[in-house]
Amino acid sequence: MSIVTENLVKEYSNGIRALKGVTLHLGSGTIGLLGPNGAGKSTLMRILATLLTPTDGFVQIFGLPLSNRTAIREMLGYLPQSFGFYPQLTVWETLQYFAHLKGVSRSRAAEMLELVGLQEKRRYRVNSLSGGMRQRLGIAVALLNDPRLLIVDEPTAGLDQEARIQFRRLLGNLPGERTVLISSHIADDIAQTCREVVVLSGGEVRFQGSPAELAAEAAGRVWEGEISPDDLPRLEETHTIMSSVRSDRHVLVRCIGPAAEGLSPLSPTVEDGYMALLQGRQSA
Amino acid sequence: MRAFWGIAMAELKLQWRSRTLWATLALALLYAVPRAPATYWKATITIAASVTSLASLGLALIWAGSARRPERCHTADLVESSAMPRSVRFSAEATGSCLGIVTVVLPVMGLALLYYRLKAGGGPGGLAQDLAVSGLLIVPPLLAWLGLSRLVGRLLPPAGAYVVVGLLWVAGVWAKAFLPVPPEWSLDYIPAERSDLILFGVHGVRLLVNRGILMGAGVLAILLSCFPEPPARRWVRTAAPALLGTLLLLALAALPGVRSVTAAVDVPLSAAEWAARARENERWRYEAAEAGEALVAQHNAAWAVPLVEVVDQVMELGGTAANTAALTVVEAPVSAPLYENGTYVIPERVFRRLAFRPQLTRRVIRLEMTRQLAPWMPFETDVKEGAADGVALYMEWCYLDELLGRDVALEEIAAWQTILQRMTSHQTYSMDGPPGPADGPSTDPRVMRDWLGEDEGDHFYAIKTALGLWQHCSLLPPEVLPALRDQWMGVIVSASRDRTVEDLLVQLLEAAP
């Protein structure tokens, strides 16, 4: 197992309990961490990145306890949810700076620059980069030490569609054997890149399995059909509306819930499964 | 090690590229250049003062900010998740910042010095030495100050750190802690006389000790700022930098010589402004020696302020303060305007001013002349003092007695000095060997001594006075002689109480032209 957590608890000094006994056993490959805002994803990732100390519980990364920070950090690449660089430095100087911090060579930095496709921008100051380029630079920094564990927190937040696709492709094509833990609240991103998904909500693990298994959580509960605009409020009371497209006389709706008149069943997606899971927990 | 230097170099680069730094350096030069001084060394001092005062704020803000730059730039998680220990990273950053002082401040200083050298018609030769001296003067106090700033930045959140650093800087400026260039380093003020060179050396050693302490304080503050975790208790985080800052300022103020040294570099202040400041300060009012020292330092640092103006200001202090301060003025180690063509020239107006206090004047002049005569008179102190007393009496008398109806010119004083020199030469010969060639009529003390018998100790003083008066008589126009004769006679009689001397004097006066 790459990552093992047992009854992991994190309570902040202000009394907020971000994690309430998280137990996970994660293998290698790309793993997605899904959950709504405030679910505890970032807290879990910061603990795994040795930046936060858990209040209680047990964590082991590649067999090493969390207290062995230096050894873990040597194997770790971490890209936080929101990050910045020193605006006075260029792209190349930034990579070199982190190469020094991680104790790797300049040639490795050059490789990473090439990997993320920023060679042409090497002389540019980092504050002149677009959001997507900055994310790519961030992933280059995270990959500098060729980490066995790559933790990427909400990497596509704030990116446009093209940049999101580029970034997903970049993560999907990473060379070498490694465990990649990606967090997101966008199910589609996870579905596109991960072989395993963990859903976290309210500081607890709600689901752990493959994307297909997550999608199956909504099996038989996803519907689509045209209804009258007047019926839409009534449907909202009993179903979770995933989408609604209004035409002249009707509304084409896609929803999760029990069978209803005028609606046809659909094959669930990961997003449907994720929403069904959250909805089910809420109703429960 | 490579990683360490890599981080240090990155820090250096960040410092170089900081707009705050360049803005404050530009401000510092803009402040200094309009006050373009007339001489090269004054320019050095002005620029150094300007750079160390104004640029110290910019650098301090950079240093305070650099301690938490990752947090400020949202790079903290990226940086912290690297394998390099935090203390090592902090140390590397501190090293880079220290290199920044050398690579930022000294080139600016160098360019400024070069500019003034070329402007003054000189060449770049000796620039390296000047730069080294400037660096020695500037870097240690700057390091102490910046180390403190970094520690403040490490212990407090950014906004709080900036406020504290700003307040400390204002307090430092108020205490003149950022103007650490002493006038003694000015080569213009290094005289040829050995005693003053020794004094210069003492100042140098004191200065080096001072700089050593400051350097140590800076290194200590930087080391403290490299601790990975700040103290947890809030009051410690708040009180520690304030306490350290206060201690540092107190240390600066308490170190011997620093107060006058820092005051001395306050070049833009006029003597009047300086005196006004001195008057406002109760302590200076009552510790007149400090006032005198400060005023002299002011005079030494600011060529433009004539000594007589300084004396005027000293006199305004009033009472005992004025006496002591005036003494300090005259006892000042070196004062370039007092030297002309290698001769010690006492500005006439200074003594006129001092003469309003007769007792003081006598003592002052004696001290001055003793020092002046020291290289010429390698014999007993009592003889030297006797000779000096003669001059003192003469001087006091000249300046007090407005009956003369005319100012005593500097040439006359110089002439009197020449006489004294001749006389003491004869005295030397009389004690150590055969007399030299006759040099003026009857000025050989042996002759006088013969006339006076064995009791020379009591009479020597009067004889020398008589000699001086006689010589002076020869320089004055005949129409004033009768009045002078009465005056001198009275003085000599009261001084010697010896008819033999009076007879001698009459004889001498009659022989005068």
Residues A234-252: tens digit of each pLDDT: 888 888 888 888 887 888 8
Of residues B126 and A50, which shows the higher confidence score? A50
Reduce the DSSP state of residue A76 to 3 states and report it.
strand
The widest CA-to-CA distance across chain B, in whole angstroms, is 102
Closest in A51, A79, A93 to B13, CB measured = A93
Q: State whether B14 and A102 contact (CB < 8 Å).
A: no
Q: How would residue A37 be classed by pLDDT, with cut points 50, 70 and 90? A: confident
Q: Which of A179, A134, A216, A175 is nearest to A29 (CA)?
A: A179
Q: In a 3-state reduction of DSSP, which class is residue B42? A: helix
Percent of the residues in chain B that have a pLDDT greater than 90, as a whole number: 0
The secondary structure of B207-229 as a DSSP string is: HHHHHHHHHHHHHHHHHHHT-SS
For the CA atoms of B469, B475, B477, B480, what is the dihedral angle to 10 degrees? -10
Which of B72, B77, B79 should one mutate to test binding to chain A, selecting the residue with the greatest count of A CBs within 10 A? B77
Contact by Cβ (8 Å): B288, B317: yes
Question: A178, B80, B492: which is closest to B507 by C-alpha?
Answer: B492
β-strand partners of B34: none
Considering only A80-94, A143-157, B274-288, which range has the smallest mean pLDDT? B274-288
pLDDT, residue B14, reads: 87
Q: What is the mean pLDDT of residues B362-389?
A: 44
Pairing assessment for the beta strands A240-246 and A251-256 based on DSSP bridges: antiparallel
> Taking a C-beta distance cutoff of 8 angstroms, is the pair B218, B146 a contact?
yes
Look at residue B359 in the predicted model and tell me its pLDDT: 43
How far apart (Å, rounded) are the C-alpha atoms in residues B399 and B418? 19
pLDDT digits (tens, 9 = 90+) for A194-221: 889 999 988 999 899 999 998 888 888 8
Quick check: A232 pLDDT over 60? yes
Whole-number pLDDT of residue A61: 92
Question: Regarding predicted confidence, which is higher, B502 or B235?
Answer: B235
Task: Please check the confidence at residue B370 and state whether its pLDDT lies above 60.
Answer: no
pLDDT (average), residues B132-156: 78
The pLDDT value given to residue B176: 57
Beta bridge mates, A245: A252
Angle at the Cα of B179 from the Cα atoms of B177 and B183, rounded to 5 degrees = 125
B131 contact partners, CB below 8 Å, separation of at least 6: B106, B109, B110, B113
CA A179 to chain centre: 13
- Of B13, B73, B83, nearest to A84 by CB-CB distance is B73
Interface of B to A at Cβ within 8 Å reads 2-3, 6-7, 10, 13-14, 17-18, 69, 73-75, 77-85, 89
Whether the predicted pLDDT of B271 surpasses 90? no
Nearest to A97 among B10, B81, B85 (CB): B10
Q: Residue A164: is its pLDDT beyond 80? A: no
Residues of A with CB under 8 A from a CB of B: 46, 49-51, 70, 73-74, 76, 78-80, 82-89, 93, 96-103, 138, 141-142, 145
Phi and psi at B454, nearest 5°, equal -80, -15
Is pLDDT at A96 greater than 90 in this prediction? Answer: yes
Give residue A257's pLDDT.
Answer: 85
Q: How many Cα atoms within 13 Å fall on the side-chain side of residue B159?
A: 0
Q: Which has the higher per-residue pLDDT, B425 or A181?
A: A181
- Mean pLDDT value across residues A128-148: 88
User: Confidence band (pLDDT; 50, 70, 90) for A100?
Assistant: very high
The minimum CA-CA distance between B154 and chain A, rounded to whole Å, is: 18
Question: If you average pLDDT over residues A251-274, what whole number do you get?
Answer: 86
Residue B351: its pLDDT value, please?
A: 46
Determine the average pLDDT of the residues in A132-144.
88
Instruction: Find, among B315, B394, B390, B392, the residue nearest to B350 by Cα.
Output: B315
Mean model confidence pLDDT for chain B: 57
The alpha carbon of residue B155 is apart from the nearest alpha carbon of chain A, in Å, by 20
Handedness of CA A50, A56, A61, A64 (dihedral sign): positive
Is pLDDT of B254 > 70?
no
Tell me the residue type at B368: E
pLDDT tens for B28-66 read: 777 666 654 445 555 555 566 666 667 778 888 888 888
Long-range pairs, A63-70, Cβ under 8 A, ≥24: A70/B83, A70/B85
Tell me which residue in B7, B73, B75 faces A100 most closely, judged by beta carbons: B7
Confidence class for position B490, pLDDT limits 50, 70, 90: very low
Q: Is the pLDDT of residue A94 over 90?
A: yes
* Residue % of chain A over a pLDDT of 70: 98
Tell me the C-alpha distance between B71 and B154, whole Å: 11
Nearest-Å Rg of the Cα atoms of chain A is 21
Closest CA to B465 of B431, B501, B498: B501
Residues of A in Cβ contact (< 8 Å) with B86: none
Predicted confidence (pLDDT) per residue in B391-437, tens digit: 544 444 444 333 233 343 334 444 444 444 444 443 333 333 333 33
How close B5 gets to chain A, by Cα (Å)? Answer: 9
Using alpha carbons, list the distances in angstroms from residue B273 to B177, B270, B292, B322, B365.
Answer: 19, 5, 15, 17, 28
CA distance B50 to B37: 13
- Residues of chain A in contact with residue B85, where contact means CB-CB under 8 angstroms, are 70
Name the E strands within B57-191: none
Identify all chain A residues contacting B74, using CB atoms and an 8 Å cutoff.
Answer: 82-84
In angstroms, what CA-CA distances link B502 with B297, B323, B388, B403, B497? 45, 34, 20, 22, 8
**Spatial separation of the C-alpha atoms in residues A2 and A26, rounded to whole Å:** 6
Q: What pLDDT does B335 receive?
A: 40
Residue B254 CB-density burial (10 A; 0-12 exposed, 13-18 middle, 19+ buried): exposed
Classified as helix, coil or strand, B259 is helix
Chain pair A-B, CB pairs under 8 angstroms: 77
**3-class SS string, A174-199:** CCCCCEEEEEECCHHHHHHHCCEEEE
What letter would DSSP give residue A229? G
Q: What angle do helix axes B481-496 and B381-400 make, rounded to 10 degrees?
A: 140
Phi, psi of B45 (to 5 degrees): -65, -40
Amino acid at A241: I
Give the nearest chain B residue to A46 (CA atoms): B77
* Token couple for B366: 């004696």
